[in-house]
Structure 1
Amino acid sequence: MTAPAREDVAALLRAGATYRTIKEQLGVGHGVISKTRTAYKIPTPRRFGPQGAELRAATERRYPQIAAMLRAEATHRQITAATGATAPTIVRIRRILRIPVPARHQRTARTIAQVLALYVEPYGDDGHARWSGPHADTQPQLSASGRVYSARREAFRAHHGRPPAGTVRASCTEPRCIAGAHLTDQTIRDEAHLDALYQDIFGDTP
């Protein structure tokens, strides 16, 4: 036989006490508390953190530098460099504090070619290039016209004029190089292998 609903449990539930508090004060089990809530039709309270002005004040206290930089119209990249905050955190703080996005920072839809030109940075004397844009795990990620692409595959496509076959790899000494001329796909690697076999068999031909 299960224990009946209890008025003293109901009183604590109406006062907003947690199940843990009720268990500690009255020595009752979870089943009694649940049965009492149902029998007395006591709604489960919706528990939230600070809201409204309280949340804005707490955010200002916790992130004063980010708030100040947002109001000074700093870019996300500048704020991340200065504070280490991630883009989602910066966006959340902007929304909580109701700081509008400056018109000059509002993104327009870029093409793949524009994004490649923006984030592919040449370096060194051997034609290498690095990706300075966003990553998914360790893979360069390209966002353009509302879609997400592999930056490495799009760099290959832009240089070779065709989509890659299979995995795209750097053929140079820099494994993360994204220079189009240094990227190979399975087709290029197969052709290089056949050329090497031909060379081994026939040698140099006049």
Structure 2
Amino acid sequence: MKPEKWERIARLLKAEYISNREAAARLGVGKEAVAEVRSDLGLPRFVLRRTWTREEFEALAPLIRGGHRLWRGRRSPDGTPVAGQNVTAYRVSFRLHHQREPVGHVKTACTRKWCVEGSHLADDLLRTAAVVDAATLPELPAEATWRGMDIVAIRRCLRGPEPWPALTLAEARFAFRFSNPDMGAAELGSRLGLRAETIQRYRTKGVPS
């Protein structure tokens, strides 16, 4: 095998958790060549995972700037992060973070495309909770969780000292409704994980539904 060919295959195998068949198709080489390079690198055989531990998932989705996670595993033809047969990395990450099965579709709730950080994902339940009219709730619910949101984390972000826990976009928007209007936009943004400009926009135009 030519060194250039070996290097191309090696770069892909080290960058992504990918099957020999998919790597061969993507690079236009034979599966035998991919298997040979995989063996040379000492990489384990590709297996579609049915269950994930947090450590396994985070090994393929390292944290990057801004608290986002970049998926280095397989992707569907349209770019969606894939963690196994008929399951996206979004659903796996959501399950690991929230310790429950997601309801409906799981989508990225932050501004980073393809982010798979669990706290940045929202299912149908969280998206529904985000649009609840705060006028019906004079104060934060007393429960630890409410409609899939971590009320304890929200309280800490609104009233507690640093470090503040990471909130989902749905939780941050919900928390904003109960925030102190006299608090500076920069400080409130830091507490909720939002930009100061976003806080100002929410105050002048309202929270998006």
TM-score scaled by length of structure 2? 0.48
Structure of larger gyration radius: 1
TM-score scaled by length of structure 1? 0.49
Higher normalized contact order (CA 8 Å, seq sep 6+, divided by chain length): 2
